[in-house]
Chain A
Amino acid sequence: MPDYSLTPAAPLAGTDITIADTRLVAPADLAVVSVALPLGAENAAEAAIKAVYGVALPEVGKSRLAKDGARLVRLGSDFAFVIFTHPTPDAERVVAGRLKGAVYTTDQTDVWVALDLSGANARRALERICPIDLHPDAFGIGDSARTVMEHLGTLIIRTGDNTYRLMSGSSSAGSFRHAIETSLSNIA
């Protein structure tokens, strides 16, 4: 039997551009696992998450960094994402293994692509595509929102003073990057 092996190729791998003093980078090896809280067993699920990650699942629209660097993003009343760095295609198993059946897990790593936008003009560029009010008073560090940018469903998380993580569907990764690049070049 011939020895076939598969080389991964993430859609935006290697993206690292700077326009308008603002840097756009595709983070490497980012894993995304969705966790759904079983109906009627939400408290147990939240307790399990807290026990494993050391932080409580945040409110809807917020995210929180766990001790191990994983980011917990609450997307709805009964579901959240765990976003962490993990190169191999078994992220779901890892999370499921740690949470031991307290939640339903689905691997979302390959469903999404992520781009990190950082720099003084990040917010100005996002103004052109993001319907969410990103003023620091309205969208604090750690806040997150799922919204639509240039027709693409997008998850935006404010990760720092002038840094945002943007996530969108992997099949439309090219259009997604193009939309952000255009915003940057339009304000440059």
Chain B
Amino acid sequence: MIINHPLLGPRDAAEFVYLGDAALIERPDWQARDAAEAFYEYGYLRDNPAGKHAELWYHEQGDRSWLVVTRDTTTHEITSVEMARDVARAKGRSK
């Protein structure tokens, strides 16, 4: 597989480490009233779509950036690659 890194261009998947669902960015608020339930869902429940899936890849043998790669799990087609940090900021994690 080839991942088109937003800063570095196309790189071989061998340079990357896979983590999984990009929903892991959306870590719940530890002080919320339902924090225990929210963390349970955060920790254990994942969507497993046959089709487009936003997932986290880490460019370990590269610039050490975490990326959000949108990949079709049935064809491996990659439709977008974003810096996870930008995605996290867009999701309002800048606190």
Whole-angstrom distance between the alpha carbons of A44 and B89 in the complex?
22
Q: A145 contacts B8, CB within 8 Å?
A: yes
Interface assignment of A76: CB less than 8 Å from any CB of chain B: yes
Interface assignment of A55: CB less than 8 Å from any CB of chain B: no
Q: B14 contacts A148, CB within 8 Å?
A: yes
CB distance from A153 to the nearest CB of B (A): 5
Whole-angstrom distance between the alpha carbons of A146 and B63 in the complex?
7
Contact residues of B: prevailing secondary structure:
loop
Whole-angstrom distance between the alpha carbons of A146 and B62 in the complex?
5
Whole-angstrom distance between the alpha carbons of A76 and B65 in the complex?
8
Interface size class of chain B, counting residues whose CB lies under 8 Å from the partner chain: 10 to 19
Residues of A contacting B14 in the complex (Cβ-Cβ under 8 angstroms)? 131, 148
Interface assignment of A141: CB less than 8 Å from any CB of chain B: no
Interface assignment of A60: CB less than 8 Å from any CB of chain B: yes
In the complex formed, the residue of B with least CB distance to A59 is: B7
Whole-angstrom distance between the alpha carbons of A76 and B83 in the complex?
11
Q: B15 contacts A60, CB within 8 Å?
A: no
Q: A76-B7, A147-B15 are in contact. List 19 more A-B contacts (CB 8 A).
A: A60-B8, A75-B63, A76-B63, A76-B64, A76-B65, A77-B7, A77-B63, A77-B65, A77-B83, A131-B12, A131-B14, A145-B62, A146-B61, A146-B62, A146-B63, A147-B61, A147-B62, A153-B60, A153-B61
Could you list which residues of chain A lie within 8 angstroms of chain B, going by C-beta atoms? 60-61, 75-77, 131, 145-148, 153
Q: B63 contacts A60, CB within 8 Å?
A: yes
Residues of A contacting B9 in the complex (Cβ-Cβ under 8 angstroms)? 61
Residues of A contacting B83 in the complex (Cβ-Cβ under 8 angstroms)? 77
CB distance from A38 to the nearest CB of B (A): 15
> Restricting to B26-75, which residues have a CB under 8 Å from any CB of A?
60-65
A-B contact pairs, 15 of them (CB 8 A): A60-B8, A60-B63, A61-B7, A61-B8, A61-B9, A75-B63, A76-B63, A77-B63, A77-B65, A131-B12, A145-B62, A146-B61, A147-B11, A148-B14, A148-B15
Residues of B contacting A77 in the complex (Cβ-Cβ under 8 angstroms)? 7, 63, 65, 83
Whole-angstrom distance between the alpha carbons of A145 and B83 in the complex?
18
Q: B7 contacts A148, CB within 8 Å?
A: no
CB distance from B5 to the nearest CB of A (A): 9
Residues of B contacting A145 in the complex (Cβ-Cβ under 8 angstroms)? 8, 62
In the complex formed, the residue of A with least CB distance to B85 is: A77
Which listed residue, A61, A75, A76, A131, touches B15 by the CB 8 Å rule? A131
